[in-house]
C-alpha cells in the first residue's frame, strides 16, 4: 500500500514537471530565443538546472532511503564512495594548474578561479575516462582468462 502511495506521488510530480517544462519551452518559442538578449534561453537553461537538481536530489534521497531501510550496512559503502569521490576531486584540484588559456581571444577573460575549476573538471574527466577504459580492458581480459579454464 505504501509503495502505491509513493508511486502515485512520483507520477504526479513527474506530470507537473513535464507540464511546466512544456510551458517554459512554448513560452521560449513565442518570445523568441534570440530576442531580449536571449532571456528565454537563460530561463530555459535555468529551468534545466532546476530539473536536474530535482532529479539528482530525488535519486540521492530515494537511494539513501531504500538503502537505509533494506540494508543499513550499505550506507557504509555509500559513505566510502562519497569520501573517495571527494578525495579524487581534491587530487584533481591540486593537479590543476589554472594557467590562462592559450590563444583565447574572447571578450571577457576568465578569472583565476574559473581557470582552476575548469582544469580540475578536465583532470577529473581524464582520470574517470581512463579508469573506465582500463576497467573495460581488464574486465575483458579476466573474462577471457576465466573462460579458458
- The model carries a pTM of 0.60
Residues 19-77: pLDDT tens digits? 988 888 888 778 777 777 777 778 888 888 998 898 888 888 888 888 888 888 888 98
Question: Residues 18, 48: one domain?
Answer: yes
Domain that holds residue 147: 73-149
Residues 60 and 85 both lie in one domain: no
Residue 115 to residues 40, 76, 98, 104, 143, Cα–Cα distance (Å): 28, 35, 5, 12, 42
Same domain, 66 and 127: no
Residues 98/112, Cβ–Cβ less than 8 Å: yes
- pLDDT at position 2 is 63
Rg (CA), the chain: 22
Report the 10 Å Cβ neighbour count for 30.
8
**Residue 134 to residue 131: CA distance in whole angstroms:** 5
Question: Residue 27 has which C-alpha cell?
Answer: 513560452
> 19 and 48, same structural domain?
yes
Tally the domains of the chain.
2
* pLDDT tens by residue, 33-48: 777 777 777 888 888 8
pLDDT of 149 over the 90 cut = no
> Do 140 and 77 share a structural domain?
yes
pLDDT of 116: 93
Amino acid at each position: 500500500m505504501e509503495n502505491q502511495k509513493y508511486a502515485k506521488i512520483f507520477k504526479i510530480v513527474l506530470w507537473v514537471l513535464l507540464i511546466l517544462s512544456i510551458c517554459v519551452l512554448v513560452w521560449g518559442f513565442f518570445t523568441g530565443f534570440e530576442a531580449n538578449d536571449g532571456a528565454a534561453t537563460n530561463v530555459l537553461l535555468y529551468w534545466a538546472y532546476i530539473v536536474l537538481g530535482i532529479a539528482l536530489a530525488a535519486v540521492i534521497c530515494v537511494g539513501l532511503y531504500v538503502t537505509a531501510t533494506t540494508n543499513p550496512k550499505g550506507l557504509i559503502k555509500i559513505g566510502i564512495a562519497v569520501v573517495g569521490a571527494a578525495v579524487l576531486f581534491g587530487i584533481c584540484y591540486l593537479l590543476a594548474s589554472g594557467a590562462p588559456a592559450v590563444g583565447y581571444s574572447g571578450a571577457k577573460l576568465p578569472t583565476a578561479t574559473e581557470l582552476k575549476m575548469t582544469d580540475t573538471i578536465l583532470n577529473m574527466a581524464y582520470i574517470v575516462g581512463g579508469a573506465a577504459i582500463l576497467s573495460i580492458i581488464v574486465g575483458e581480459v579476466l573474462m577471457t582468462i576465466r573462460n579458458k579454464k
